[in-house]
């Protein structure tokens, strides 16, 4: 589990093009310290978020301003694309 969290944090820090709260946290720590410590901090933040979601039984919504129906519609469209329905 530790390796997977570190790998996810490293990918978030290096591969994600946009800005995210986790990435901005990691960049701030990387300025003061090193990249590895920043990845560990981001991995811990991911673990805390996932544990809270697991405890509450909630789902992750990337944009808090988006309504749950927007997230459901995006998920439905994604499922349709995966199944081959184009419109």
pLDDT digits (tens, 9 = 90+) for 40-67: 999 999 999 899 988 988 877 666 665 6
* Separation of alpha carbons 8 and 4, rounded Å: 6
Q: Is the pLDDT of residue 20 over 70?
A: yes
* CB-based contacts of 46, cutoff 8 Å, min separation 6: 5, 8, 9, 12, 22
Q: What percentage of the chain has pLDDT greater than the value 90?
A: 36
DSSP secondary structure letter of residue 24: H
pLDDT higher than 60, residue 18:
yes
Q: Return the H-helix or E-strand segment holding 79.
A: helix 68-83
- Whole-model pTM? 0.64
| Residue 64 confidence (pLDDT) | 64
């Amino acid at each position: 589990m530790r390796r997977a969290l570190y790998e996810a944090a490293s990918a978030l820090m290096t591969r994600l093009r946009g800005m995210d709260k986790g990435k901005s946290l990691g960049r701030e720590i990387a300025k003061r310290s090193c990249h590895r410590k920043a990845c560990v901090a981001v991995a811990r933040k991911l673990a805390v978020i996932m544990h809270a979601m697991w405890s509450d039984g909630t789902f992750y919504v990337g944009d808090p301003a988006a309504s749950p129906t927007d997230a459901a519609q995006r998920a439905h469209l994604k499922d349709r694309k995966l199944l081959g329905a184009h419109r």
